[in-house]
Amino acid sequence: MSILLDYVPGEEEREGEWYCYQTIDGALGVYYVRIDRALPLSPANYLYRYIPQLYGLEGFRAAGGREFDPEPLEQAGILAQQRPPLELTGRGVIFACIDTGISYEDPVFRFSDGSSRILAIWDQTDQSGRTPEGIAYGSEYMRDQINEALSSAEPHRIVPMTDEIGHGTALASAAAGSRLEEGLAFCGAAPEADLVVVKLRPAKRYLRDYFQVAPDVPAYSTDDILLAVRYVQRFVTPLYRPAVICLGLGTSLGSHSGGSLAVEYLQEAASRVSQVLVTGGGNEGNSAGHFRSLLTEQAQPVELRVGEQVRGFTAELWGMRPAVFRIGVRSPGGEAIPETDFRLGASVDYTFVYEKTRVRIDYMRNENNTADELIQLRFDRPTPGVWTLTVRGLRTAGSVFDLWLMPRQFLSGEAYFLAPDPDVTLTMPSYTEDAVTASAYDSRSGSFFYRSGRGFSRTGAVKPDLAAPGVGISTADGPYSGAAMAAALTAGAAAQLMQWCVVEGNYRRISGRSIRGFLSRGAREEPQEEYPSRRWGYGRLDMRRTFDEIAGNYPE
């Protein structure tokens, strides 16, 4: 079992017969404990801050053929900047894909001579090769090994990594696929960027059991993602080259205000010089997985519909200070957990007599990341029907509370609020302040993608930063849609900007924060919208307008 830590254990506590410690960066690290020696995973035994989250994939296959469609790249102004006079193709920039791996033998990841554009691969699932420096698991393969594999009749005997799901291959090709003229034409947003790839290992069973996620659903743990970011940073620093890190994963649980150990680390990465972090805003906008209301002294019912096939699910209530919360649960059959008056911290474990449902409620009066109230509810074998949560509070003036369900893709069946709020549905880590966060729209119709997450943050901070094409995007694995594709095209645009700024010497010390500012300032506004917008951020990604802004050619 792994838990995150924000301090370094004493020397005698770092390695033993049934535990060990892995540094991520500074005081941040991962503590691994043999499962039979660890306390059960819960906020009562470990701080919520230390429990890893599960992240799901935010792209999915779309209808259509494999023919390359340049229209989304044209709409985003990306193809215009690949052409003269700027000729921005990501040359000299490193694009980092942290995802399900990559089909490294595909022509879209090679130079015209057939050699690989991939600088390095860290496969977290493979234990047969050399581990990366300072990391205790996985196998690292460098470009010379990848080229040796490509020249072999059996490449996977040398570099055994495959992308069984295809999501990483799709994301990387949309962002940085080579320009192919012969055969099946193709071009990514930054076709000359070098690539660094991390294949994430699937989340362990104990974490899937805790969040009630089936073994066959793609899910990835916070600690593996943070170590992947650390790997990318340690790899690119000696090369002294700009890097774009793209995350096409997310979760609908968490504070929705940026407060977490993961976001703190990603914020540090996002604000570094010559480095930018790009995330998608998720696909939870139409999932009916968010409820928001003003708190009153009267009990407020929150109705939740649960379908036949749901084995279990997790929900979180986050409340604004200074309110104090009480919550009760009533089953479809009328059996109830009475409203519990929590004190400094408590847990309730209740098994319904007639419903055969078990509900665990963990209460945190001052959650460590945010100092706000958090109530976590975990339902096991919920009876189908309408469940009612009753929420009541003290010191309620102006206090708002939010409820979020776990991501739709993690649910084994139907579960949704009967009176949902589609706003504040961006996924974590979209709320990382200096990351470039993209919502998705359909570039062919011009309409906002109905599944895309919406802002702002729970505390009112402006996210997303912009909207990018995210529907029917051409990839090496066929057309894809979703927030991950919006993130991929935005990451390719960021690589273009990094080339102009750093590689070509126009703004050598630019940071991720400034890249975010340039892209947001250049985003295209629509006359009928009010900006910043919960859906569009500061507008639609437009690299032509971004460079017009840089040149001082302001539109009327």
CA distance 76 to 189: 10
Cα–Cα distance, 337 to 379 (Å, whole number): 13
For residue 427, pLDDT over 90 is answered with: yes
pLDDT at position 344 over 60 = no
- Integer Cα distance of 497 and 90 in angstroms: 8
pLDDT at 452 over 60: yes
pLDDT in tens, 221-264: 999 999 999 999 887 876 778 999 999 999 999 999 988 899 99
CA-to-CA distance for 32 and 41, rounded, in angstroms? 13
Span 151-155, mean pLDDT? 94
**425 has a pLDDT exceeding 90:** yes
pLDDT attached to residue 290: 98
Pairing of strands 243-247, 94-99: parallel
The side-by-side arrangement of strands in the sheet containing 28-33 is 2-5, 28-33, 19-25
Residue 167 backbone dihedrals phi, psi, to 5 degrees: -65, -45
Provide the strand spans (E) within 134-286.
Answer: 139-142, 194-199, 220-221, 243-247, 249-250, 275-280
- Strands (E) in 218-320, as ranges, are 220-221, 243-247, 249-250, 275-280, 290-294, 300-306, 312-319
Mean pLDDT, to the nearest integer, of 433-456?
Answer: 96
pLDDT tens column, 397-409? 668 899 999 999 9
> Does a cis peptide bond (omega within 30 degrees of 0) precede residue 429?
yes
Cβ-proximal residues to 214 (8 Å cutoff; 6+ apart), any chain: 208, 311, 412
As a whole number, mean pLDDT of residues 194-213 equals: 96
Q: How many CB atoms within 10 Å of residue 319? A: 24
In the chain the first and final C-alpha atoms are separated, in Å, by: 58
Mean pLDDT of 124-134: 94
Task: Quickly count helices (H) and strands (E) in the chain.
Answer: 10, 27
Q: Which residue has the tokens 């998720």?
A: 282
Does pTM surpass 0.85? yes
What number of other Cβ atoms are within 10 A of residue 299's Cβ?
13
> In the beta sheet, which residues pair with residue 391?
300, 327
**Cβ-contact 289, 425 below 8 angstroms:** yes
Residue 337 confidence (pLDDT) above 70 = yes
Question: What average pLDDT score do residues 362-385 get?
Answer: 90
Q: How confident is the model at residue 342, as a pLDDT?
A: 61
Mean pLDDT of 464-493: 97
- Residue 183 in this model has a pLDDT that exceeds 70: no
Computed from CA positions of residues 443, 449, 452, 454, in that sequence, does the dihedral angle turn out positive or negative? Answer: positive
* Interval 122-126 mean pLDDT: 97
Antiparallel, parallel or unpaired: β 118-123 and 194-199? parallel
Question: Distance (Å, rounded) from C-alpha 150 to C-alpha 157?
Answer: 11
13 alpha carbon, distance to own chain's centre: 32
